[in-house]
Chains A and B, each alone.
Chain A
Amino acid sequence: MTYTAEAFQNEYLALGATEVNAIVTVTSSGSATGVRTGGATEVIIVDASGSMQAEGRIAAARQAAKAAVACIDDGVHFALIAGVGTAQQLYPAPGELAVATAQTRAEATWAIDRLHASGGTAMGAWLLLAAQLFAQRPGDIAHAIMLTDGDNGERQGYLESVLDSIAGRFTVDSRGVGTNWKVSELRKIADAMLGTVDIVASPADLTAAFEQMMTAAMGKTTADVQLKVWTPVNATVRFVKQVEPQVADLTGKRVADGARAGRYPLGAWGAESRDYHVCIDVPPGASGDEMLAARVSIVEGDTVHAQSLVRAVWTDDAALSTRINRQVAHYTGQAELAEAIQAGIEARKAGDDHTATMKFGRAAKLAHESGNKATSELLATVVDIEDAATGTVRLRRKVAAADEMALDTRSTKTVRVGRGQ
Protein backbone atom coordinates (compact mmCIF):
# COMPACT_ATOMS: atom_id res chain seq x y z
CA MET A 1 0.00 0.00 0.00
CA THR A 2 1.23 3.50 -0.70
CA TYR A 3 -0.18 6.38 1.31
CA THR A 4 0.00 10.13 0.95
CA ALA A 5 -0.71 12.68 3.64
CA GLU A 6 -1.25 16.31 2.73
CA ALA A 7 -1.86 19.13 5.23
CA PHE A 8 -4.10 22.11 4.41
CA GLN A 9 -3.89 25.08 6.75
CA ASN A 10 -3.29 28.78 7.16
CA GLU A 11 0.02 28.54 8.97
CA TYR A 12 0.04 32.28 9.74
CA LEU A 13 -1.03 33.17 13.26
CA ALA A 14 -1.65 36.61 14.73
CA LEU A 15 0.71 37.60 17.54
CA GLY A 16 -0.46 35.97 20.76
CA ALA A 17 -2.47 33.28 18.91
CA THR A 18 -1.90 29.75 20.17
CA GLU A 19 -4.37 27.56 18.24
CA VAL A 20 -3.13 25.76 15.14
CA ASN A 21 -5.63 24.03 12.85
CA ALA A 22 -4.97 21.80 9.87
CA ILE A 23 -6.88 19.37 7.72
CA VAL A 24 -4.79 16.35 6.80
CA THR A 25 -6.01 14.40 3.78
CA VAL A 26 -4.84 10.80 3.86
CA THR A 27 -5.11 8.83 0.64
CA SER A 28 -4.12 5.24 0.08
CA SER A 29 -3.74 3.54 -3.24
CA GLY A 30 -4.80 0.16 -1.88
CA SER A 31 -2.46 -2.79 -2.24
CA ALA A 32 -0.65 -3.19 -5.55
CA THR A 33 -2.66 -6.25 -6.48
CA GLY A 34 -5.92 -5.00 -5.00
CA VAL A 35 -6.09 -7.97 -2.63
CA ARG A 36 -5.40 -8.34 1.05
CA THR A 37 -1.86 -9.07 2.02
CA GLY A 38 -2.93 -10.67 5.30
CA GLY A 39 -5.97 -12.45 6.65
CA ALA A 40 -9.48 -11.21 7.35
CA THR A 41 -12.22 -12.32 9.69
CA GLU A 42 -15.91 -11.44 9.45
CA VAL A 43 -18.58 -11.94 12.09
CA ILE A 44 -22.25 -11.36 11.32
CA ILE A 45 -24.53 -10.76 14.32
CA VAL A 46 -28.26 -10.92 13.70
CA ASP A 47 -30.74 -9.92 16.36
CA ALA A 48 -33.13 -12.86 16.90
CA SER A 49 -35.18 -11.31 19.68
CA GLY A 50 -38.92 -11.91 19.73
CA SER A 51 -39.69 -8.48 18.29
CA MET A 52 -37.95 -9.46 15.05
CA GLN A 53 -41.09 -11.43 14.15
CA ALA A 54 -42.89 -8.15 13.45
CA GLU A 55 -43.16 -6.76 9.92
CA GLY A 56 -41.38 -9.80 8.50
CA ARG A 57 -38.08 -8.54 9.92
CA ILE A 58 -36.65 -11.96 10.72
CA ALA A 59 -37.31 -13.25 7.22
CA ALA A 60 -35.70 -10.14 5.76
CA ALA A 61 -32.76 -10.52 8.17
CA ARG A 62 -32.25 -14.14 7.05
CA GLN A 63 -32.25 -13.01 3.44
CA ALA A 64 -29.79 -10.22 4.22
CA ALA A 65 -27.44 -12.47 6.20
CA LYS A 66 -27.38 -14.93 3.30
CA ALA A 67 -26.59 -12.14 0.89
CA ALA A 68 -23.74 -10.96 3.15
CA VAL A 69 -22.32 -14.49 3.38
CA ALA A 70 -22.39 -14.70 -0.42
CA CYS A 71 -20.16 -11.58 -0.52
CA ILE A 72 -17.41 -13.10 1.65
CA ASP A 73 -14.25 -13.79 -0.36
CA ASP A 74 -12.75 -17.27 -0.45
CA GLY A 75 -10.24 -17.78 2.35
CA VAL A 76 -11.73 -15.24 4.72
CA HIS A 77 -12.56 -16.59 8.19
CA PHE A 78 -16.12 -16.03 9.28
CA ALA A 79 -18.83 -16.85 11.81
CA LEU A 80 -22.52 -16.12 12.40
CA ILE A 81 -23.99 -15.18 15.77
CA ALA A 82 -27.69 -15.33 16.66
CA GLY A 83 -28.43 -12.49 19.04
CA VAL A 84 -30.87 -13.38 21.77
CA GLY A 85 -30.72 -13.00 25.59
CA THR A 86 -27.29 -14.57 25.28
CA ALA A 87 -25.06 -14.90 22.26
CA GLN A 88 -25.48 -18.16 20.38
CA GLN A 89 -23.20 -19.19 17.60
CA LEU A 90 -25.26 -20.07 14.57
CA TYR A 91 -22.34 -21.17 12.37
CA PRO A 92 -19.92 -22.94 12.47
CA ALA A 93 -19.60 -25.03 15.68
CA PRO A 94 -19.48 -22.94 18.87
CA GLY A 95 -16.10 -21.23 19.41
CA GLU A 96 -14.92 -21.93 15.87
CA LEU A 97 -14.39 -19.91 12.71
CA ALA A 98 -15.08 -21.24 9.22
CA VAL A 99 -12.88 -20.58 6.20
CA ALA A 100 -14.97 -19.27 3.33
CA THR A 101 -15.38 -21.72 0.43
CA ALA A 102 -18.36 -22.54 -1.75
CA GLN A 103 -19.02 -25.42 0.68
CA THR A 104 -18.90 -23.39 3.93
CA ARG A 105 -20.93 -20.54 2.42
CA ALA A 106 -23.63 -23.08 1.52
CA GLU A 107 -23.52 -24.58 5.03
CA ALA A 108 -23.82 -21.10 6.54
CA THR A 109 -26.84 -20.41 4.34
CA TRP A 110 -28.58 -23.58 5.62
CA ALA A 111 -27.71 -22.58 9.20
CA ILE A 112 -29.31 -19.18 8.65
CA ASP A 113 -32.61 -20.94 7.88
CA ARG A 114 -32.57 -22.18 11.47
CA LEU A 115 -32.62 -18.58 12.76
CA HIS A 116 -35.85 -18.00 14.65
CA ALA A 117 -36.96 -14.93 16.53
CA SER A 118 -37.48 -15.69 20.19
CA GLY A 119 -35.51 -14.13 23.00
CA GLY A 120 -34.05 -10.92 24.34
CA THR A 121 -31.49 -8.34 23.28
CA ALA A 122 -27.99 -8.52 24.82
CA MET A 123 -25.61 -6.49 22.68
CA GLY A 124 -22.78 -6.65 25.24
CA ALA A 125 -22.89 -10.45 25.24
CA TRP A 126 -23.06 -10.58 21.42
CA LEU A 127 -20.02 -8.35 21.02
CA LEU A 128 -18.12 -10.24 23.70
CA LEU A 129 -18.59 -13.53 21.82
CA ALA A 130 -17.49 -11.82 18.61
CA ALA A 131 -14.37 -10.56 20.41
CA GLN A 132 -13.57 -14.11 21.54
CA LEU A 133 -13.88 -15.38 17.98
CA PHE A 134 -11.71 -12.55 16.57
CA ALA A 135 -9.07 -13.27 19.24
CA GLN A 136 -8.26 -16.52 17.41
CA ARG A 137 -6.95 -14.57 14.44
CA PRO A 138 -4.67 -11.81 15.70
CA GLY A 139 -3.43 -9.51 12.92
CA ASP A 140 -6.47 -10.12 10.71
CA ILE A 141 -8.66 -7.37 9.37
CA ALA A 142 -11.48 -7.91 11.90
CA HIS A 143 -14.94 -6.65 11.03
CA ALA A 144 -18.42 -7.33 12.36
CA ILE A 145 -21.89 -6.48 11.13
CA MET A 146 -24.51 -6.11 13.85
CA LEU A 147 -28.25 -5.91 13.21
CA THR A 148 -30.78 -5.09 15.90
CA ASP A 149 -34.34 -3.86 16.12
CA GLY A 150 -34.67 -2.86 19.77
CA ASP A 151 -33.18 -1.52 22.98
CA ASN A 152 -30.43 -3.36 24.76
CA GLY A 153 -31.88 -5.47 27.56
CA GLU A 154 -28.69 -5.78 29.58
CA ARG A 155 -28.21 -4.03 32.93
CA GLN A 156 -27.24 -0.39 32.83
CA GLY A 157 -23.55 0.11 32.15
CA TYR A 158 -22.80 -3.44 31.00
CA LEU A 159 -22.56 -2.59 27.29
CA GLU A 160 -20.24 0.33 28.12
CA SER A 161 -17.94 -1.90 30.16
CA VAL A 162 -17.82 -4.46 27.33
CA LEU A 163 -17.01 -1.69 24.82
CA ASP A 164 -14.20 -0.45 27.08
CA SER A 165 -12.67 -3.92 27.15
CA ILE A 166 -12.92 -4.66 23.41
CA ALA A 167 -12.51 -1.19 21.83
CA GLY A 168 -10.02 -1.17 18.98
CA ARG A 169 -9.92 -4.96 18.55
CA PHE A 170 -12.34 -5.01 15.62
CA THR A 171 -14.63 -2.72 13.63
CA VAL A 172 -18.42 -2.88 14.01
CA ASP A 173 -20.92 -1.55 11.52
CA SER A 174 -24.32 -1.41 13.25
CA ARG A 175 -27.71 -1.24 11.60
CA GLY A 176 -31.04 -0.71 13.24
CA VAL A 177 -34.13 -2.05 11.49
CA GLY A 178 -37.49 -0.40 12.15
CA THR A 179 -37.77 2.48 14.60
CA ASN A 180 -37.85 0.84 18.04
CA TRP A 181 -34.09 0.94 18.66
CA LYS A 182 -32.04 3.78 20.12
CA VAL A 183 -29.72 5.79 17.91
CA SER A 184 -27.62 6.76 20.95
CA GLU A 185 -27.00 3.10 21.82
CA LEU A 186 -25.79 2.08 18.37
CA ARG A 187 -23.79 5.30 18.02
CA LYS A 188 -21.98 4.39 21.23
CA ILE A 189 -20.96 1.10 19.61
CA ALA A 190 -19.96 2.76 16.34
CA ASP A 191 -17.84 5.37 18.16
CA ALA A 192 -16.06 2.80 20.31
CA MET A 193 -15.55 0.32 17.48
CA LEU A 194 -14.63 2.81 14.69
CA GLY A 195 -17.66 1.72 12.68
CA THR A 196 -20.78 3.20 11.16
CA VAL A 197 -24.39 3.34 12.30
CA ASP A 198 -27.46 3.72 10.12
CA ILE A 199 -31.16 3.09 10.04
CA VAL A 200 -32.78 0.56 7.72
CA ALA A 201 -36.36 1.68 8.17
CA SER A 202 -37.91 -0.94 5.93
CA PRO A 203 -36.94 -4.64 6.32
CA ALA A 204 -37.03 -4.92 2.53
CA ASP A 205 -33.89 -2.78 2.33
CA LEU A 206 -31.82 -4.99 4.66
CA THR A 207 -30.33 -7.14 1.92
CA ALA A 208 -28.91 -4.16 0.07
CA ALA A 209 -27.53 -2.71 3.32
CA PHE A 210 -25.79 -5.99 4.24
CA GLU A 211 -24.33 -6.44 0.77
CA GLN A 212 -22.99 -2.90 0.81
CA MET A 213 -21.36 -3.35 4.23
CA MET A 214 -19.78 -6.68 3.35
CA THR A 215 -18.54 -5.47 -0.04
CA ALA A 216 -16.95 -2.44 1.63
CA ALA A 217 -15.33 -4.70 4.24
CA MET A 218 -13.92 -6.97 1.53
CA GLY A 219 -12.34 -3.89 -0.08
CA LYS A 220 -10.12 -3.31 2.96
CA THR A 221 -6.60 -4.50 2.41
CA THR A 222 -4.75 -3.35 5.54
CA ALA A 223 -5.83 -4.10 9.10
CA ASP A 224 -4.53 -1.58 11.56
CA VAL A 225 -3.47 1.85 10.32
CA GLN A 226 -2.75 4.62 12.80
CA LEU A 227 -2.32 8.36 12.75
CA LYS A 228 0.75 9.37 14.74
CA VAL A 229 0.91 12.97 15.92
CA TRP A 230 4.18 14.38 17.24
CA THR A 231 4.02 17.74 18.99
CA PRO A 232 6.84 19.81 20.48
CA VAL A 233 7.40 20.39 24.17
CA ASN A 234 4.70 22.59 25.77
CA ALA A 235 2.26 21.92 22.91
CA THR A 236 -0.86 19.81 23.37
CA VAL A 237 -3.30 18.14 21.01
CA ARG A 238 -6.71 19.75 21.54
CA PHE A 239 -8.48 17.30 19.25
CA VAL A 240 -8.05 14.87 16.37
CA LYS A 241 -11.23 14.22 14.41
CA GLN A 242 -11.99 12.28 11.30
CA VAL A 243 -14.08 14.77 9.29
CA GLU A 244 -14.65 12.92 6.03
CA PRO A 245 -16.43 10.70 5.02
CA GLN A 246 -18.04 11.22 8.42
CA VAL A 247 -17.29 13.02 11.66
CA ALA A 248 -15.70 10.83 14.33
CA ASP A 249 -13.82 12.25 17.30
CA LEU A 250 -10.62 10.28 17.86
CA THR A 251 -9.18 12.51 20.60
CA GLY A 252 -9.98 10.11 23.44
CA LYS A 253 -8.49 7.13 21.58
CA ARG A 254 -4.95 8.47 21.87
CA VAL A 255 -2.33 5.95 22.91
CA ALA A 256 0.92 7.60 24.01
CA ASP A 257 3.96 6.78 21.88
CA GLY A 258 6.80 8.30 23.83
CA ALA A 259 6.55 11.62 25.61
CA ARG A 260 5.88 13.78 22.55
CA ALA A 261 3.71 11.64 20.31
CA GLY A 262 0.42 9.79 20.38
CA ARG A 263 -1.21 7.27 18.06
CA TYR A 264 -4.85 7.38 17.00
CA PRO A 265 -6.43 4.22 15.51
CA LEU A 266 -7.80 4.62 11.97
CA GLY A 267 -9.05 1.05 11.54
CA ALA A 268 -8.79 -0.93 8.31
CA TRP A 269 -7.94 0.71 4.97
CA GLY A 270 -8.52 -0.11 1.34
CA ALA A 271 -8.04 2.20 -1.64
CA GLU A 272 -9.67 5.31 -0.19
CA SER A 273 -9.20 8.83 1.07
CA ARG A 274 -10.19 10.33 4.42
CA ASP A 275 -9.77 13.76 5.97
CA TYR A 276 -8.68 14.49 9.54
CA HIS A 277 -8.88 17.75 11.46
CA VAL A 278 -5.96 18.23 13.84
CA CYS A 279 -6.06 21.08 16.37
CA ILE A 280 -2.94 21.86 18.42
CA ASP A 281 -2.41 24.36 21.24
CA VAL A 282 1.08 25.82 21.14
CA PRO A 283 2.89 28.42 23.22
CA PRO A 284 2.73 31.86 21.53
CA GLY A 285 5.68 32.86 19.35
CA ALA A 286 7.23 36.18 18.44
CA SER A 287 6.69 37.86 15.09
CA GLY A 288 8.68 36.01 12.45
CA ASP A 289 8.96 32.81 14.49
CA GLU A 290 8.15 29.58 12.72
CA MET A 291 7.27 26.46 14.69
CA LEU A 292 6.58 22.90 13.71
CA ALA A 293 3.30 22.47 15.60
CA ALA A 294 2.84 18.84 14.66
CA ARG A 295 4.34 16.14 12.53
CA VAL A 296 1.46 13.93 11.39
CA SER A 297 2.36 10.45 10.13
CA ILE A 298 0.45 7.49 8.82
CA VAL A 299 1.93 4.46 10.53
CA GLU A 300 1.43 0.72 10.60
CA GLY A 301 3.45 -0.82 13.41
CA ASP A 302 6.93 0.67 13.08
CA THR A 303 6.51 1.54 9.40
CA VAL A 304 5.92 5.19 8.56
CA HIS A 305 3.92 5.32 5.30
CA ALA A 306 3.56 9.08 4.87
CA GLN A 307 4.19 12.26 6.76
CA SER A 308 2.93 15.79 6.70
CA LEU A 309 3.99 18.91 8.62
CA VAL A 310 1.63 21.26 10.45
CA ARG A 311 3.34 24.62 10.91
CA ALA A 312 2.77 27.83 12.82
CA VAL A 313 4.24 31.13 11.63
CA TRP A 314 3.54 34.22 13.71
CA THR A 315 3.09 37.49 11.89
CA ASP A 316 1.80 40.97 12.61
CA ASP A 317 0.54 41.12 9.02
CA ALA A 318 -3.22 40.82 9.51
CA ALA A 319 -3.67 40.14 5.79
CA LEU A 320 -1.85 36.85 6.31
CA SER A 321 -3.15 35.81 9.74
CA THR A 322 -6.81 36.46 8.93
CA ARG A 323 -6.78 34.38 5.76
CA ILE A 324 -9.36 31.66 6.11
CA ASN A 325 -8.28 28.23 5.03
CA ARG A 326 -11.09 26.73 2.99
CA GLN A 327 -10.64 23.15 4.19
CA VAL A 328 -10.42 24.07 7.87
CA ALA A 329 -13.46 26.35 7.64
CA HIS A 330 -15.45 23.78 5.69
CA TYR A 331 -14.88 20.90 8.09
CA THR A 332 -15.28 23.08 11.17
CA GLY A 333 -18.72 23.83 9.68
CA GLN A 334 -19.45 20.15 8.97
CA ALA A 335 -18.62 19.19 12.57
CA GLU A 336 -20.84 22.02 13.83
CA LEU A 337 -23.58 20.82 11.46
CA ALA A 338 -23.57 17.35 13.05
CA GLU A 339 -23.63 18.88 16.54
CA ALA A 340 -26.48 21.25 15.65
CA ILE A 341 -28.62 18.42 14.30
CA GLN A 342 -28.05 16.20 17.32
CA ALA A 343 -28.73 19.12 19.70
CA GLY A 344 -31.87 19.98 17.71
CA ILE A 345 -33.19 16.43 18.00
CA GLU A 346 -32.46 16.36 21.75
CA ALA A 347 -34.22 19.69 22.26
CA ARG A 348 -37.25 18.61 20.26
CA LYS A 349 -37.55 15.42 22.30
CA ALA A 350 -37.30 17.46 25.50
CA GLY A 351 -40.10 19.68 24.24
CA ASP A 352 -37.86 22.75 23.94
CA ASP A 353 -39.18 23.96 20.59
CA HIS A 354 -37.32 27.27 20.77
CA THR A 355 -33.87 25.64 21.04
CA ALA A 356 -34.82 22.97 18.51
CA THR A 357 -35.86 25.61 15.95
CA MET A 358 -32.62 27.52 16.52
CA LYS A 359 -30.40 24.45 16.19
CA PHE A 360 -32.20 23.10 13.11
CA GLY A 361 -32.05 26.59 11.58
CA ARG A 362 -28.32 26.73 12.12
CA ALA A 363 -28.01 23.22 10.65
CA ALA A 364 -30.06 24.15 7.58
CA LYS A 365 -27.81 27.17 6.98
CA LEU A 366 -24.60 25.16 7.41
CA ALA A 367 -25.81 22.34 5.18
CA HIS A 368 -26.85 24.84 2.52
CA GLU A 369 -23.58 26.80 2.63
CA SER A 370 -21.41 23.70 2.43
CA GLY A 371 -23.41 22.06 -0.33
CA ASN A 372 -24.27 19.06 1.87
CA LYS A 373 -27.42 18.19 -0.10
CA ALA A 374 -27.98 14.80 1.52
CA THR A 375 -28.18 16.39 4.96
CA SER A 376 -30.35 19.26 3.66
CA GLU A 377 -32.84 16.72 2.33
CA LEU A 378 -32.90 14.80 5.60
CA LEU A 379 -33.43 18.06 7.50
CA ALA A 380 -36.36 18.89 5.27
CA THR A 381 -38.16 15.76 6.53
CA VAL A 382 -38.03 17.10 10.10
CA VAL A 383 -38.43 20.86 9.59
CA ASP A 384 -39.87 23.09 6.89
CA ILE A 385 -36.91 25.03 5.55
CA GLU A 386 -38.28 28.46 4.65
CA ASP A 387 -34.94 30.07 3.81
CA ALA A 388 -31.82 27.94 3.95
CA ALA A 389 -29.50 30.90 3.34
CA THR A 390 -30.59 32.62 6.56
CA GLY A 391 -31.39 29.44 8.44
CA THR A 392 -35.09 30.14 8.83
CA VAL A 393 -36.95 26.93 9.62
CA ARG A 394 -40.22 25.89 11.21
CA LEU A 395 -40.64 22.67 13.18
CA ARG A 396 -43.00 20.18 11.60
CA ARG A 397 -45.79 19.13 13.85
CA LYS A 398 -45.78 15.57 12.62
CA VAL A 399 -42.45 13.89 11.99
CA ALA A 400 -42.09 10.22 11.06
CA ALA A 401 -39.87 8.44 13.61
CA ALA A 402 -37.87 6.86 10.80
CA ASP A 403 -37.14 10.27 9.28
CA GLU A 404 -35.89 11.69 12.54
CA MET A 405 -33.73 8.62 13.19
CA ALA A 406 -32.30 8.80 9.68
CA LEU A 407 -31.42 12.46 10.24
CA ASP A 408 -29.81 11.57 13.57
CA THR A 409 -27.72 8.64 12.33
CA ARG A 410 -26.63 10.39 9.16
CA SER A 411 -25.93 13.78 10.77
CA THR A 412 -22.23 12.96 10.87
CA LYS A 413 -21.99 12.33 7.11
CA THR A 414 -19.89 15.08 5.56
CA VAL A 415 -19.09 16.26 2.06
CA ARG A 416 -15.71 17.25 0.70
CA VAL A 417 -14.83 20.87 0.03
CA GLY A 418 -16.32 22.07 -3.21
CA ARG A 419 -18.39 18.94 -3.77
CA GLY A 420 -22.00 19.34 -4.64
CA GLN A 421 -21.78 23.12 -4.76
Chain B
Amino acid sequence: MKAKIVFVTKGGEDCDEGFSYVLELAKSINSGITVLVVYPKNMMSTFEDVMAAAAFAEAGDFKTVKTLMDNQERLLREAERKKLADMSERSRIASIALTHTVAEGDPLTVIRDFLQDSPGIDMVLLSPALSANRKADIRKLIKNISKPIVHISRPLKAEV
Protein backbone atom coordinates (compact mmCIF):
# COMPACT_ATOMS: atom_id res chain seq x y z
CA MET B 1 0.00 0.00 0.00
CA LYS B 2 1.64 3.22 -1.16
CA ALA B 3 1.51 6.20 1.24
CA LYS B 4 -0.50 8.79 -0.63
CA ILE B 5 -1.58 11.03 2.26
CA VAL B 6 0.73 13.16 4.35
CA PHE B 7 -0.83 14.27 7.62
CA VAL B 8 0.96 17.35 8.93
CA THR B 9 0.70 17.99 12.64
CA LYS B 10 2.28 20.47 15.01
CA GLY B 11 4.71 19.02 17.52
CA GLY B 12 3.02 18.76 20.91
CA GLU B 13 -0.47 19.14 19.42
CA ASP B 14 -3.24 16.80 20.50
CA CYS B 15 -4.19 15.66 17.01
CA ASP B 16 -6.15 12.62 18.08
CA GLU B 17 -9.38 13.71 16.43
CA GLY B 18 -7.69 14.91 13.28
CA PHE B 19 -5.90 11.58 12.99
CA SER B 20 -9.22 9.74 13.35
CA TYR B 21 -10.44 11.54 10.27
CA VAL B 22 -7.21 10.84 8.38
CA LEU B 23 -7.44 7.16 9.23
CA GLU B 24 -11.02 6.96 7.91
CA LEU B 25 -10.02 8.74 4.72
CA ALA B 26 -7.00 6.49 4.22
CA LYS B 27 -9.20 3.39 4.64
CA SER B 28 -11.73 4.66 2.13
CA ILE B 29 -9.18 5.36 -0.61
CA ASN B 30 -6.86 2.44 0.20
CA SER B 31 -3.92 4.68 0.96
CA GLY B 32 -1.04 4.63 3.38
CA ILE B 33 -0.32 7.57 5.69
CA THR B 34 2.84 9.50 6.38
CA VAL B 35 2.69 11.60 9.54
CA LEU B 36 4.87 14.70 9.37
CA VAL B 37 5.41 16.21 12.82
CA VAL B 38 6.68 19.76 12.68
CA TYR B 39 8.30 21.40 15.68
CA PRO B 40 9.15 25.07 15.76
CA LYS B 41 12.89 25.77 15.98
CA ASN B 42 12.46 27.00 19.54
CA MET B 43 11.53 23.92 21.51
CA MET B 44 10.18 25.76 24.53
CA SER B 45 6.44 25.52 24.48
CA THR B 46 5.25 27.11 27.73
CA PHE B 47 5.60 30.69 28.94
CA GLU B 48 6.56 29.53 32.44
CA ASP B 49 9.45 27.45 31.08
CA VAL B 50 10.71 30.42 29.09
CA MET B 51 10.46 32.72 32.11
CA ALA B 52 12.17 30.19 34.35
CA ALA B 53 14.98 29.74 31.85
CA ALA B 54 15.34 33.53 31.51
CA ALA B 55 15.52 33.95 35.28
CA PHE B 56 18.26 31.36 35.62
CA ALA B 57 20.12 32.86 32.66
CA GLU B 58 20.03 36.32 34.32
CA ALA B 59 21.43 34.79 37.46
CA GLY B 60 24.26 33.33 35.41
CA ASP B 61 23.13 29.75 36.08
CA PHE B 62 23.47 28.54 32.51
CA LYS B 63 23.78 24.94 33.60
CA THR B 64 20.24 25.06 35.00
CA VAL B 65 19.00 26.74 31.86
CA LYS B 66 20.48 23.95 29.74
CA THR B 67 18.96 21.35 32.09
CA LEU B 68 15.58 23.03 31.80
CA MET B 69 15.79 23.11 28.00
CA ASP B 70 17.05 19.53 27.78
CA ASN B 71 14.30 18.42 30.12
CA GLN B 72 11.69 20.22 28.09
CA GLU B 73 13.00 18.62 24.91
CA ARG B 74 13.01 15.21 26.57
CA LEU B 75 9.39 15.64 27.69
CA LEU B 76 8.34 16.76 24.25
CA ARG B 77 10.12 13.87 22.58
CA GLU B 78 8.55 11.43 25.04
CA ALA B 79 5.09 12.82 24.36
CA GLU B 80 5.75 12.63 20.63
CA ARG B 81 6.92 9.01 20.90
CA LYS B 82 3.76 8.07 22.77
CA LYS B 83 1.58 9.87 20.24
CA LEU B 84 3.28 8.17 17.29
CA ALA B 85 3.10 4.79 19.00
CA ASP B 86 -0.64 5.28 19.47
CA MET B 87 -1.08 6.28 15.81
CA SER B 88 0.96 3.27 14.69
CA GLU B 89 -1.18 0.91 16.74
CA ARG B 90 -4.42 2.38 15.43
CA SER B 91 -3.14 2.16 11.87
CA ARG B 92 -2.04 -1.42 12.38
CA ILE B 93 -5.53 -2.37 13.61
CA ALA B 94 -7.02 -0.66 10.55
CA SER B 95 -4.47 -2.39 8.24
CA ILE B 96 -3.16 0.95 7.05
CA ALA B 97 0.59 1.39 6.46
CA LEU B 98 1.95 4.30 8.50
CA THR B 99 5.33 5.99 8.47
CA HIS B 100 6.39 9.16 10.22
CA THR B 101 8.93 11.94 9.96
CA VAL B 102 9.80 14.58 12.52
CA ALA B 103 11.16 17.91 11.42
CA GLU B 104 11.94 21.31 12.89
CA GLY B 105 11.31 24.65 11.31
CA ASP B 106 8.66 26.69 9.57
CA PRO B 107 5.74 24.37 8.67
CA LEU B 108 5.45 25.70 5.11
CA THR B 109 9.14 25.15 4.40
CA VAL B 110 9.08 21.71 6.00
CA ILE B 111 6.02 20.65 3.96
CA ARG B 112 7.50 21.98 0.72
CA ASP B 113 10.85 20.24 1.30
CA PHE B 114 9.13 16.99 2.26
CA LEU B 115 6.97 16.97 -0.88
CA GLN B 116 9.99 17.60 -3.09
CA ASP B 117 11.47 14.35 -1.82
CA SER B 118 8.14 12.48 -1.94
CA PRO B 119 6.61 12.89 -5.41
CA GLY B 120 4.14 10.03 -4.88
CA ILE B 121 2.08 11.90 -2.26
CA ASP B 122 -1.46 12.67 -3.49
CA MET B 123 -2.66 15.14 -0.87
CA VAL B 124 -1.58 17.14 2.15
CA LEU B 125 -3.84 17.07 5.21
CA LEU B 126 -3.32 19.82 7.77
CA SER B 127 -4.23 19.03 11.36
CA PRO B 128 -6.78 21.27 13.10
CA ALA B 129 -4.02 23.27 14.83
CA LEU B 130 -2.31 24.04 11.52
CA SER B 131 -5.62 24.64 9.77
CA ALA B 132 -6.51 27.32 12.34
CA ASN B 133 -3.92 29.69 10.86
CA ARG B 134 -4.96 29.10 7.29
CA LYS B 135 -6.06 32.63 6.47
CA ALA B 136 -2.57 33.90 7.11
CA ASP B 137 -0.71 31.04 5.49
CA ILE B 138 -2.94 29.87 2.65
CA ARG B 139 -1.39 32.12 0.02
CA LYS B 140 2.10 31.01 0.95
CA LEU B 141 1.01 27.37 0.91
CA ILE B 142 -0.57 27.40 -2.54
CA LYS B 143 2.42 29.24 -3.98
CA ASN B 144 4.83 26.60 -2.77
CA ILE B 145 2.94 23.33 -2.99
CA SER B 146 1.32 21.72 -6.02
CA LYS B 147 -0.72 19.02 -4.23
CA PRO B 148 -4.30 19.39 -3.00
CA ILE B 149 -4.31 20.77 0.54
CA VAL B 150 -7.02 19.55 2.88
CA HIS B 151 -7.87 21.58 5.99
CA ILE B 152 -9.46 19.70 8.85
CA SER B 153 -11.31 21.83 11.32
CA ARG B 154 -14.16 21.61 13.76
CA PRO B 155 -17.26 23.47 12.55
CA LEU B 156 -17.97 26.62 14.59
CA LYS B 157 -21.06 26.17 16.75
CA ALA B 158 -23.64 28.93 16.55
CA GLU B 159 -24.24 30.65 19.88
CA VAL B 160 -27.86 30.79 20.99
Partners in one complex: no
Contact residues of B with A, CB < 8 Å? none
Contact residues of A with B, CB < 8 Å? none
